[in-house]
Amino acid sequence: MSPNATAHLPKHTGPPLSGAVDTGRRAAPPGRGADAPSPASGASGAACVWCGSRRLLPVARGTRSVRLTRCTRCAHTFGAPRPATALRPPAPRAVPERRHRERARLLLPYGEPESWLDVGTGEGAFPAVARSCFPYTAFDGLDPDPVQIARARAEGHVEEAHHGTLSSALPALVGRYDVVSLFHQLERAPDPRAELAAAAQALRTGGYLLVEAYDPRSALGTLLGPHWAPFTGQTPAHLVPRPGLLRALRELGFTVLSVRRGPAHLPGDLRTAAARALAHRRGPAALLTRPLTGTAGALDALLAPLARRTRLGTGYRVLARRG
């Protein structure tokens, strides 16, 4: 990281900018790879992917919901994908620009980064906003959706576009970045530990890792159960406990600089849960879907200030420095 006066610096010290989407699948680090099966399927002998304990407790089961499992040792909560015939979940909530700007400003006290990789960038919404805070930073993006990452590159939101998971994109990204951001990516990864290890490799010494994740100990998440937002997709869900994440970061050589809960709460969980619960309704009952989800959305906004100050908050945010 260099001071703000970095306009004269080249934006990358790594390979030259490529205008094409990187669709190559590269080797994953040793251990469970990015494509390794998740033990969240409830198969006999399954173990917690976070601490290895076999003390797993089923939380909720049902033909219309994700099968949830919680580790009684570390509180890591995970779920198996729903069958392909399951109902399509609600569209992901849009993240307000102010939320993206708030995330980016966490790095302001540490100077202007030369290069920043946003993992799970989608169409590049975060880099597009973060550039207002860091105009001389080169933002790259990585996403498993080739269409979205191509659009992010075409719109100029990212300078380099990479397709896949962070662990699958190595070794081309090793040591190239001053900042790597993982916003709600650990819960989507088949192996969250592999993604953290890959992030450490992608960072230069002294680089920063910014993580935002759902909190499995959230009171609101416990209340919503299988209808909570992290469990409405058709991909493995891993809710990593905050103490476990901090311990894993220290084991990887990171120094934890900041841990925040309140600002990481994003309203919308009640509305998502209502839409999920009512999605299968037919006939006259279906007429209630819109007003009920609207009411749930209003409650989300009303409860947001309280959630940010209590255990109702659904997320946490961690900033750490490598080496």
As a whole number, the mean pLDDT across the chain is 78
Task: For the domain made up of 1-29+39-323, give the CATH fold.
Answer: Rossmann fold (3.40.50)
pLDDT digits (tens, 9 = 90+) for 250-267: 999 999 999 998 888 888
The model's pTM is: 0.77
- What's the confidence (pLDDT) of residue 312? 87
In the structure encoding, which two tokens stand for residue 33, read together?
Answer: 């790879």
Nearest-angstrom CA–CA distance, 131 and 104: 9
Nearest-angstrom CA–CA distance, 162 and 7: 25
Furthest C-alpha separation in the chain: 65
Cβ pair 249, 209 in contact under 8 A: yes
Task: Decide the pairing of beta strands 56-60 and 68-71.
Answer: antiparallel
Q: Which residue has the higher pLDDT, 307 or 144?
A: 144
Which 3 state secondary structure label does DSSP give 239?
Answer: strand
Which 3 state secondary structure label does DSSP give 76?
Answer: coil
Q: Determine the residue type at 4.
A: N
- What's the confidence (pLDDT) of residue 155? 95
Domain limits of the chain? 1-29+39-323
pLDDT digits (tens, 9 = 90+) for 141-172: 999 999 999 999 999 999 999 999 899 998 89
- Which band of pLDDT confidence, cut at 50, 70 and 90, is reported for residue 232? low
Cβ pair 172, 227 in contact under 8 A: no
82: phi > 0 → left, psi -120 to 50 → alpha, else beta; which? beta
Q: What is the mean pLDDT of residues 199-224?
A: 92
In the structure encoding, which two tokens stand for residue 158, read together?
Answer: 């990212």
- Which band of pLDDT confidence, cut at 50, 70 and 90, is reported for residue 302? confident
Q: Which has the closest alpha carbon to 183: 118, 125, 234?
A: 118
Cα distances from 78 to residues 46, 192, 227, 315, in angstroms, run 12, 11, 13, 15
Q: Which residue has the higher pLDDT, 40 or 99?
A: 99
